[in-house]
Structure 1
Amino acid sequence: MSRELSVVVLAAGMGTRMKSALPKVMHKVAGKPMVNHVIDTAGKLNTAKTMVVVGPDMPQLIASVSPYSTFEQTDRLGTAHAVLAAKDALIGLTGNVLVLYADSPLFTAETLKRLVNAREAGDHAVAVLGFCPDDPTGYGRLITDPNHGGLIAIVEDKECSDAQRAINFCNSGVMCFRAETMIETLSAIDNQNAKGEYYLTDAVEVACAAGQSCVAVEVDEDETLGVNSRSQLAVAEAIMQERLREAAMENGATLIDPMSVFFSSDTKLGRDVIVEPHVVFGPGVTVGDDVMIKAFSHLESCVVANNADIGPYARLRPGAEIGVGARVGNFVEIKKSVVEDGAKVNHLSYIGDARVGAKANIGAGTITCNYDGYRKYHTDIGAGAFVGSNSALVAPVKIGDGAIIGAGSTITGTVEADALVIERAPRIDKAGWARLFREKMKALLGK
């Protein structure tokens, strides 16, 4: 690929089969909207310009693709009509223009590069990605010249002759155009068909009629999946997850049971990370080297440093930062907090809006009381502090370095460094009260 590359992403369809108020292409695969998968993949080819064609009243979609330019296809009159919605931005472009579909998130950058290279190699007017399914029913067929092998037409399934229907080389929809002749080619497409629409596929015959050449490039069928329903969305998710698992293992992570681990598209795992079964990575997770993530843990928008130990059944929420060699154990939830190097929060605790200092130890059942119903408050736990089990730290509060909090305490004020603080309600004993209470309730309820 040596010439300039621009991209048009078609995203105007609502996708009625999804039965959703959300535009189809905003549904997520591996934690990211399909349209953003398509844009990000194309971006790996160093695109000079990216244009997104949207439909009316799609503010969420426009926000999701920002800062890229959007163009509205007010009347949905076919795919060629959709591309020409961005006509003003296409004028004056040189090199290559890729036309991609926002509901097809599985194409790889390597495949798109092959397509662009094939167009450039023969200076073709149009290059098309094709695939060979076991059953081609329903797909447009790519018709090639038996003499020179060039692409001469794309024929929709319902319009195929018997001979053409026997062809199993099918249209994926993805095309690369010579930028300098693209507008002329698209403008010559008519709508003389059963639907009265302007089909992008007709660009091949238009170009050939004008004495220009076209070419088809074969790609694996898995990449071509277009998502039109919830079931197809699930298929796309499964394919993407398989890719992400393979990439994680190739890059040095061990997945004990790969099929039970779910990644987001941006998950970053370091070397020699071990991931036990049934772990879920939400968006925005970065994990360092030599980390153990035990079973049934859930991580989202967090950072885990080298040699940390997470889980089982741990939940790291957005803003969690886990330090080198720190330990976050079973049934511990960390939210918007820093757990510094070597600190331990071993079990049954909630740490929110807090700092847990280096080598501090948080006992079982400890919580930071960070919310009063209106605002959030910060808890600061010093290095080497020891917080006894079943303690409540009522924020805003500061516990000094090396301090010890007695088990069952409710801490409401500053604790000095190296101090022992025990803050419990005084014990009240009422002899026989429980027996009298039971007798009273039995008489009242008759049982």
Structure 2
Amino acid sequence: MSVEQAALAEVVREEWGRLTSLLLAHFRRLDLVEDALADAVETATTRWPRDGVPDNPAAWLHTAARRRVLDRIRAEAMAQRKMPLLVMDAEHRSTATAFADPGDLVEDDLLRLVLMCTHPALDPAAASALALRLVLGVSTADIARLFLVPEPTMAARLTRAKKKIVTAGIPFAVPSADVLPERLEVVAQTAYLAFTAGYAPGSGPDVVRTALAAEAIRLVRVVLVLRPDEPVLVGLLALMLLQHSRRDARVDADGGLVLLPDQDRSSWHQDEIDEGVALLQSASLTGPIPVRAAAYVVQARIAAEHATATSSDDTDWGRVVDHYDDLLALAPTPSARLARAVAVAEASGPQAGLDAMADLDDQLPRSHRLPAVRAALLERAGELDAARSAYSVAIDRCGNDAERADLLRRRDALDG
């Protein structure tokens, strides 16, 4: 891959959602924005190798896409013989705010754009998926992994959600924050899924997409300003901070994956751990916890067990298993069952962990983490041939370059 191709791939991966958000905030035309951004990227594939990578690649794409939207609006106005006021108004709004650097998008604007996508007329899952794709720039493939469905299925869901916006006459406009109460749970789910996509990307070269995870945390903080005692948000923020605190230790000097037992705990962000623990002990979470918040709180308690232990051996794995039992009573997802199996293996040995995940294959048919965990436990149990086969399955399924490299290393080590 050339320098120009790598730069374009990076800006599309990191800035697609922000570019979509900025253009939608001005033009309110989803169809034009998506087509214009795609055209801008296609133009960049031919222009950048010839002219060089621009100083601000995201701004270049924003300008190119904005011009294409304006061209389409002009063409529509002329075709319908309308007065040019529409074009003039669009030009005024699009030039009134120049493209900002990645950290300059007003946080409240991010919330309003998420609210825009999470209209109550849409199915909550479809609304979250739409916000992840359009506002936060998560790829369709990674969204499909988050929802445990095939990529074509998720692509079809996104298409249906966009069509419903048009056919139902839902205004694709940025709403005010007074609609927050009716959309709170979908906004929280969207932030949670966005954080997951940043913390453990399903595809691409990165161990962690720090900017995406941080964006999800900022979104929750913005909503907390409006609803400071909301248990859903307090529990979710605690979970995010406790997980995010380990981000630097999860990547080695070469960009490779470092698993929890091997991490340098001195590089964990203690201020975030302290804040997360304090949130778990706050008044919002000390009384009866609403059902809609309970799953986030239990996951935060699991994260706190890891974040406050001095080593993996020091972790109270029996208590972690108990927390997972509580989580499964609230949300019996296959991903939670797999995570519980890991904890069971640490508490009671690899065979107990293998037994705990014995019937998950049908529920996680595309997951690389299921065969990866199975391979690691089989290796610990001394069943090296079976471990090698499981590693191969995990490698075939894995879409993340760093995780795949780690799996290849572990499989090769068996031969050594």
Higher strand fraction (1 or 2): 1
Higher helix fraction (1 or 2): 2
The higher relative CO (CA closer than 8 Å, separation ≥ 6) is in 2
| Greater Cα radius of gyration, structure 1 or 2 | 1
Question: TM-score, normalized by length of structure 1?
Answer: 0.27
Question: TM-score, normalized by length of structure 2?
Answer: 0.29
